[in-house]
Amino acid sequence: MGILVLNDHFAEELRHRLICPVGHCKFFSHRLYNFKGKDDADPSLNSTHDAFLKTKCQSLSDSVTTVAMDPGIALSFDNDYFKTLKLNQGRSSLMLHFLTEKGPANIVDEVLDSGKFFTEFSQSLKRMGAIGHNRFQNKICPRLEEISRNITWSRVKENPALPAKLLRLHYHDCFVRGCDASILLDSTSNNTAEKDALPNRSISGYDVIDEIKARVEEDCPETVSCADIVALAARDAVSFQFRDPLWHVFTGRKDGRVSLASEAERDLPSAGANFTTLKQQFESNELDIVDLVALSGAHTIGVGHCRIIARRLFNFTGKGDADPSIDSDYANFLKTQCSNLSTAVDMDPGSSFSFDSHYYEALNQNKSLFASDAALLTDLGAASITKIFFTHPSFFFAQFARSMVKMGSIGVLTGENGEVRKNCHLVN
């Protein structure tokens, strides 16, 4: 796993320590008083620091008190956060988990050197800013976000299945050639485009992108890329449930001029992928294991087609058997639903229209639809993160937002490397 990939996560963690230099007791008091449900403390927490925190957070029910995230210097910009982490004085279970992983732990050791820390932090910030700034876009198309939100929310109100569709469209776009709207380009007599690749034939939501693009062109002709609209529509669709944006979408992307079905078939993670393959595919896009687990949480909404899971249910080892990793009752239920392989079933049983952390609860009950979901439990690190997201939904929402911002910056085209299409389905 590359150092820049992981350092981006550490830089983002430290940035949040500066933006929000204190933590609320309610988010970590379970580590002090009831870590394993036995009125115990988290054994990975430094005992002296544990005693200090208990003087600040005096009960599990304390939802008001705040404590400095970086003890003693919450308003100072330095690398003491990592020194604190190394001493097992970090509040976040998620970050302490990284000390059990060889790659991240080595990076923590490296950034204990102040010079190395400032170098890596500045490089990560440059990467985070690589796709432009909304102030620029606000000047040249001030109503862009309003137009996207209004159209998307109106369409989601009519069709509650739309958030999953637009989120999937954005994901499938970014994992092939980066977030360049190449998935929107139509095939020609000389080329089969991404949208006609086997993994993309069930993609939908193109009409929403077209509607937003048409309206934006009226306000700001030839100014806003289709790639930016895909990113905005995905965010706005998921955010409709909360009536508030769940993550920030940087704009300034350019549209690509190339779209190849062969690349989609090669680069998109499959529903049957094992953990090693998933990890490699995410790392190739500069996304780490935390991003992998968080972005998999998108499966809390939407449906999957029976034809994709047929082998897991009916012929896993070639002997007419089901995948033993699936809960037996859930497998039997799916078999009743999938007698016709064209049928679609909920990705997250009973919660397919609600964006929440229930996916991780179902996953840990062995009730995941895809083998690629179940694969997360085969890696100790990934499995522990799924449990954190299940037991602490606020951690999931925060990390999902960060991971979506990172995903939205994959392979972004700027300047002369791309264009702003007049029609999202055709190169200019």
Angle at 305 between CA 313 and CA 375, to 5 degrees: 60
Helix (H, G, I), strand (E, B) or coil at 305: strand
Residue ranges for the known binding site for substrate are 269
Give yes or no for a contact between 323 and 382, defined as CB atoms under 8 angstroms apart: no
Please identify which of the residues 97, 170, 172, 358 carries the catalytic annotation: 172
Give yes or no for a contact between 304 and 345, defined as CB atoms under 8 angstroms apart: yes
9 is catalytic: no
Residue ranges for the known binding site for Ca(2+) are 173, 176, 178, 180, 182, 194, 300, 348, 356
Give yes or no for a contact between 28 and 135, defined as CB atoms under 8 angstroms apart: no
Residue 155 in tokens: 């369409």
Of 232, 94, 93, 89, nearest to 153 (Cα)? 232
Write out the H or E segment, with its range, that includes residue 397. Answer: helix 393-407
Residue ranges for the known binding site are 173, 176, 178, 180, 182, 194, 269, 299-300, 348, 356
Strand bridging mode 22-24 / 303-305: unpaired
- What contacts 180, CB < 8 A, 6 or more positions away? 173, 227, 253, 254, 255, 256, 411, 412, 413, 418
For the chain, give the number of residues.
428
Helix axes 3-19, 114-128, angle to 10 degrees: 90
What residues are labeled active site? 172
